[in-house]
Amino acid sequence: MPENNRTKLLIARRVPNAVASRAVSEFRAYVTESDMDAWSVVDFCKKHDVPAVLIGKKSGLQEDHIAALPSTVKIIANASAGVDHMNVAFALERGIVVTNAPDALTECTADFSMLLVLAACRRASEYERIMRSGWGKSFGMTEMLGTRVNGKTLGIVGFGRIGRAVAKRAQAFGMKVAYTDIQRASPALENGAMFYPSLEELLPHSQVLTLHVPGGGTPLMTKKEFGLLPEGAVFVNAARGALVNEDALYEALTSGHLFGAGLDVYRNEPHVDVRFAGLQNVFLTPHMASATIETRDQMGFTALDNIAAVLDGQKALNPV
């Protein structure tokens, strides 16, 4: 097949129609109708000598998969910010460029994090269930009370793009902001937020805590860390489920130490621990922080922009 008619890209996960249309037009891409697993990706690449692959969580390529890829593969593109579903180090060792989409998710993930904060503090899931069951009973001054966010301190773990975007939204709601990260941000980026050099120092000041760091490895939040939060605190996680020891979180929620939680991510997705579904003081969503039409399109377009650059002999726009 002539070079200009050759399939240059395998899209191994389902993508929005706008992304698929551009991929077919620009790269003569093969677009899967259902998410492919890693070995199916390897087999396709061997048969069709494609130089570029866009993968997802199900097609996350580990060392044995990457070792089996043909030398024609030049780039593995991710349409998400996280790359914990693949072995990046081994891909780079093989000379394969790996890219992600770090900016595409920022605004919508920050919006969603604030939604979780507000929903957990104001008992949104409980109120919604009351209405869906028919209401039928007025509540007095002392019943079904939430906790307001105005005036409270929001602790942010990870003050990168998303963490800073959450800080701006929290400040608009009248919240004070404190954070911890590997290093302190510049005064301009801090925008009045208080820096604590360690998680242990941040936690006692965090009336609401939200996580914005990569997952993997040992859980960041265990019984010790939850115990350091002030009594009546609210915990929010729209980052990665692996950051949390869920037994410790459950204990903190059922003991009354935590007022509530807003959760979008879980350790064993898509199979959430059923204990959380039974708790009234938890607002649960199914890993949907980036789930808007605009953001999902932008995620895919960012991956395609990186592929276009690499195949054109240029540097990747978002190398990992």
CATH classification of the domain holding 203 = 3.40.50.720
Same domain, 198 and 51: no
Please, what is the average pLDDT of the chain? 96
List the catalytic residue out of 26, 190, 251, 269.
269
**Dihedral over Cα of 146, 251, 197, 164: its sign:** negative
State the average pLDDT over residues 234-248.
Answer: 97
144 and 88 co-located in one domain: no
Percent of the chain residues topping a pLDDT of 70: 98
**Do 112 and 211 fall within a single domain?**
yes
**More confident of the two residues 24 and 5:** 24
The answer as to whether 257 is a domain residue is yes
Instruction: Give residues with Cβ within 8 angstroms of 104, minimum separation 6.
Output: 79, 81, 290, 295, 298, 299, 301, 302
CA distance 320 to 315: 12
pLDDT at residue number 4? 59
What phi-psi label fits residue 318: left (phi over 0), alpha (psi between -120 and 50 degrees) or beta? Answer: beta
Q: Distance between the two ends of the chain, CA-based, in angstroms?
A: 32
Are 122 and 89 within one domain?
no
- Name the packing angle between helices 161-172 and 106-121 (round to 10°): 50
56-77 burial, b at 16+ Cβ within 10 Å, e below that, comes to bebbbbeeebbeebeeebbbbb
User: Is residue 148 flagged as an active site residue?
Assistant: no
- 13-30 average pLDDT score: 97
Set 169, 240, 246, 296: catalytic member: 240
Same domain flag for 195 and 242: yes
Confidence class for position 233, pLDDT limits 50, 70, 90: very high
Report, as an integer, the average pLDDT of 293-315: 97
* pLDDT band per the 50, 70, 90 thresholds, residue 2: very low
Question: Is residue 293's pLDDT more than 50?
Answer: yes
Q: What is the mean pLDDT of residues 245-267?
A: 98
Is residue 287 flagged as an active site residue? yes
Task: Note whether residue 72 is domain-resident.
Answer: yes
DSSP-assigned letter for residue 137: S
Q: 182-190 contacts: CB < 8 A, separation 24 or more? A: 185/159, 189/159, 189/164
320 belongs to a structural domain: no
Query: 255 is written with which tokens?
Result: 């003991």
User: Do 123 and 200 belong to one domain?
Assistant: yes
Predicted confidence at residue 205, as pLDDT, reads 98
3 state SS of 184: coil
**Is the residue at 45 inside a domain?**
yes
Residues 113, 45 within the same domain: no
According to the model, what pLDDT value does residue 1 have? 41
The reply to whether 275 belongs to the active site is no
What is the percent of the chain where pLDDT is above 90? Answer: 94
Question: Whole-model pTM above 0.85?
Answer: yes
**Together in a domain, 74 and 165:** no
Active-site pick, 14, 85, 161, 287? 287
Q: State mean pLDDT over 277-293.
A: 97
pLDDT at 15 over 70: yes
68 lies in some domain: yes
Rounded (5°) CA angle 123-115-178: 100
Q: Given pLDDT bands bounded at 50, 70 and 90, which one contains residue 269?
A: very high
Considering the domain architecture, whether residues 97 and 175 belong to the same structural domain is answered as: no
Residue 114 lies in a domain: yes
Per-residue pLDDT band for 93 (boundaries 50, 70, 90) equals very high
- CA dist., res. 300 & res. 130, Å (int): 39
pLDDT reading at 206 higher than 90: yes
When pLDDT is averaged across residues 113-118 and rounded to a whole number, the result is: 98
Is 318 contained in some domain?
no
Q: Domain for residue 278, yes or no?
A: yes
The Cα–Cα gap between 279 and 282 comes to: 6
Distance CA 258, CA 134 (A): 29
In a shared domain, residues 99 and 123? no
Ramachandran area for residue 217 (φ above 0: left; ψ -120 to 50: alpha; else beta) = left
| 132 and 208 fall within a common domain | yes
**Confidence (pLDDT) at 3:** 53
3-state helix, strand, coil in the chain (%, to 5): 40, 15, 45
| Structural domains in the chain (count) | 2
**What number is the average pLDDT over the span 70-77?**
97
Distance CA 102, CA 164 (A): 14
Question: Are residues 262 and 149 both part of a single domain?
Answer: yes
Strand ranges, E, within 112-253: 153-157, 176-180, 194-195, 208-211, 233-237
Q: What's residue 155's pLDDT?
A: 98
Domain that holds residue 147: 106-284
pLDDT digits (tens, 9 = 90+) for 147-175: 999 999 999 999 999 999 999 999 999 99
